[in-house]
Amino acid sequence: MKSTAGEIALSVACATLAVGIYWSAAQIPPSLMSQISAGLVPRVVAAALLLLALVHLVTVLRRPRQVRGGGDSGRVSGARLPALETHLTWLVATVLFGFLLVVELELLPFWLSGFLFCFLAILVLSDLSLRAVVLAAGISAASILVTVLVFTQVFTVILP
Amino acid sequence: MTIELLASFGSMLQPGPFAFIFIGVLSGIVIGAIPGLNGAMLVALSLPLTYGWDPLNGIALLVGQYVGSISGGLVSATLLNIPGSASSMMTTLDAAPMAQNGRPDRALQLGIIASFFGGLVSWLALVFLSPPLAKLALNFGPHEYFALVLAALMLISSLSDGSMVKALISACLGMFAAFPGIDTITAQPRLTFGLPQMNAGFDLLAVLLGVFAVTQLLDDSAKTSKSAERLKLGARMSWIKLGDITRQWFNLIRSSLIGTWIGILPGVGGSVGAIVSYVSAKNMSKTPEKFGTGCDDGVIASEAANNATVGGALIPMITMGIPGSIIDVILIAALTLHNIRPGPLLFQNEPEIVYGFMSVMFIANLLMLLLMLAGIRFFAKLIDVPLKYLVPVLLLLCVVGAFAVNNRLFDVWVMFGFGVLGLLFRAWRIPIAPFVIGFILTPIAETNFRTALIASDNSLTSFVMRPISAVFIVVALAVLVLPLLRRRRGAAATSSATDLQ
């Protein structure tokens, strides 16, 4: 993602969110119990966010071209997305999302889905080899066993 | 006060609470020593465990972790030239060269002793400054509280890294995250989008686990394949002399006081304290050229200051309910889970909690000193622990932890959502501290703002008519306007210099 494009996307996202929150807060009817509506403060903050998003947009667009291209000088730092350049972060996030989806839809028992999540995530982060598979299986089994035992027996949590 | 404090020491030195402090400090050092993992993540991860405990045991564990994690960062900063935590950033500048010059033992020992000293000075500040500040805060009404929170949010936004506009955006987004749910004054549902689960708003713990733990762990996933060369400790440990420490007395006191002061400022943690202290030590040194080459002064300035921020940060949290650092946000959450509200009334209503914080902090500091000096070799090995195994296991614990508090999967999704939001914040270089402080302080600020308006017939001028409230509002405005003026003046100076050329 180009620096300027990322910053413009941030401004647009914030402005859209601000308008959405403002509109939603404006729908709250006045209460008989209080003169001041529950939507007052959200509207004020939404207006402030909209203003900040516009200031940010103007600052980004007014930056000299060479700085906009990728430099990091000036008060508005460029979004070079260091974390996002690496796919592993998003791969593990996707595995986590899949795990939560399986738990939500009750496709598998929690202990099994937890084991599979750990196993897959470790494999994603390791170099693929037989040793890595065995280690991943061992660590995942031990982790899920300890987690389930501690939370159900010690903290008496009813796991999903 | 002395009697209550001594009584608190007595109860905290009982086997049960002492074991929690011990486990807290040890786990804090371990996590702090592993590059990539940090104290905020550990404290957030441990928070669900403390839910059913006695609040003092929870404080013992969490404050122990706080102290331990700040100190543990020293290990990888010295042996790996990578700060284990952000607060050890400046330590790498001198501790790593010292270690590379064949004196890793010296760097670690100086850092550990300076950390203890910094913690001790800030503990004294906590003990002696908190009661008068709490007494002062008792005079605060809704106007003053709202103005205080506003000033705190402005201050944290101006002190955050990078763009102030982004910091303010972060604060606004944090406030948005706090709005959904049933309104406390009118009992109307607000921004719930028709979801019954949203009636209670976003669960505090789920949000904190998301932005602190999940974001950090997902970000660490990208670092699992990288390995750095670490320095090994020699076969025999050589100990520093007492003179090496006493020679640094002025540096120790100055750095500890700077750290304590920086800690008191809302939302500013160990990293800023260490930077300011290091720069001050360098500027005041007769041999500034030695800084960055492995000199004692640099290690001591950084480590004394970063540990001193812990006690400093607890002062506004205990006395006014304003978090001094992001870990304090989690400590506030821990108290909230036990229906305890930090603030001036804490001294009257729950004095054992106040003195509990004080005694735990002292004991944790002492334990940190002993554990780190005795276990340097063990902690040095921790930096080899592969993150590729830790990250998935800790993520699993996050999922179970978020679920455990309310037994509902909705909170786990909230945690995941805020974890991804935290990643986007990192990508856009938006500071996270204003977000979490906005999130935690908004309910207090909003309730006080609306109560103040109701009490003064919707008159906004009442905020500037009351002296304390007016002072806070002036501070908030100054913090907002001064950087803009400075920037404009800087731009004018640059353009006139260009014209002259």
Q: What is the DSSP string of A76-130?
A: S-----TTTTSHHHHHHHHHHHHHHHHHHTT-S-HHHHHHHHHHHHHHHHS--SH
Contact: B186, A34; criterion CB under 8 Å: yes
DSSP-H helix ranges across B265-350: 270-284, 296-320, 326-337, 345-349
Whose CA is closest to B94, among B110, B71, B115? B110
CB-based contacts of A145, cutoff 8 Å, min separation 6: A111
Distance, in Å, from the CA atom of B45 to the CA atom of B489, rounded to the nearest integer, reads 46
Contact: A42, B183; criterion CB under 8 Å: no
Kindly state the average pLDDT of the residues A74-78.
41
The B residues from 268 to 287 touching A (CB cutoff 8 Å) are: none
Distance, in Å, from the CA atom of B205 to the CA atom of B208, rounded to the nearest integer, reads 5
Interface test with A, best of B393, B414, B457 (most A CBs within 10 A): B393
pTM, to two decimals: 0.81
pLDDT of B136: 84
Distance from the Cα of A75 to chain B's closest Cα (Å) equals: 5
ipTM: 0.87
Considering only residues A17 and B456, tell me which one the structure prediction assigns the higher pLDDT: A17
Contact: A125, B428; criterion CB under 8 Å: no
Whose CA is closest to A138, among B389, B223, B387, B385? B389
Look up residue B210 and give its DSSP letter.
I
pLDDT of B127: 93
Q: What is the dihedral of CA B393, B397, B400, B406, to 10 degrees?
A: -160
Distance, in Å, from the CA atom of B328 to the CA atom of B309, rounded to the nearest integer, reads 11
pLDDT tens digits for range A118-142: 999 999 888 888 999 999 999 999 9
Q: How many CB pairs under 8 A join A and B?
A: 191
Contact status of B429 with chain A (Cβ, < 8 Å): yes
Q: CA distances (Å), B384 to each of B34, B81, B85, B387, B424, in order?
A: 8, 13, 16, 9, 29
**B222: helix, strand or coil:** coil
Distance, in Å, from the CA atom of B363 to the CA atom of B9, rounded to the nearest integer, reads 8
pLDDT of B224: 65
Q: Is the pLDDT of residue A1 over 50?
A: no
Contact status of B173 with chain A (Cβ, < 8 Å): yes
From chain B, the residues in CB contact with A41 under 8 A are 179, 446, 449-450
Question: Tokens standing for A80?
Answer: 């070079």
Kindly state the average pLDDT of the residues A25-29.
87
Q: Is the pLDDT of residue A71 over 80?
A: no
**Closest chain B residue to the Cα of A55, Cα to Cα:** B165
Interface test with A, best of B221, B418, B435 (most A CBs within 10 A): B221
Whose CA is closest to B79, among B229, B201, B304? B229
Interface test with B, best of A55, A122, A146 (most B CBs within 10 A): A122
pLDDT of A9: 94
**Closest chain A residue to the Cα of B484, Cα to Cα:** A75
Which helix (H) or strand (E) segment is B104 a member of?
Answer: helix B104-137
pLDDT of B386: 81
Contact: A122, B389; criterion CB under 8 Å: yes
Contact status of B162 with chain A (Cβ, < 8 Å): yes
pLDDT of B473: 92
CA atoms within 13 A on the CB side of B336: 17
The residue to which tokens 């006493």 are assigned:
B246
Do residues B10 and B355 make contact, with C-beta atoms less than 8 angstroms apart? no
Mean pLDDT for all residues in chain A = 83
Distance, in Å, from the CA atom of B88 to the CA atom of B351, rounded to the nearest integer, reads 33
Quote the crossing angle between the two packed helices A40-62 and B164-178, to the nearest 10°: 150
pLDDT of A129: 87
Q: Could you read off the pLDDT tens digit of each residue along chain B, which spans 501 residues?
A: 788 899 999 999 999 999 999 999 999 998 888 776 778 888 988 888 887 888 999 999 999 999 998 888 888 788 877 776 677 778 888 888 888 888 888 888 999 999 999 999 999 999 999 988 888 888 888 899 899 888 888 887 777 767 889 999 999 999 999 999 988 888 888 888 888 888 888 988 889 889 888 998 898 887 765 555 666 666 666 778 888 888 889 999 999 999 898 888 776 666 778 888 888 888 888 888 888 888 889 899 999 998 898 888 899 889 888 888 878 888 888 888 888 888 888 888 888 999 999 999 999 999 999 999 888 878 777 777 788 888 899 899 889 888 887 888 999 999 999 999 999 998 999 988 889 888 988 888 888 898 888 888 888 888 899 998 999 999 889 888 887 777 677 666 666 666 655
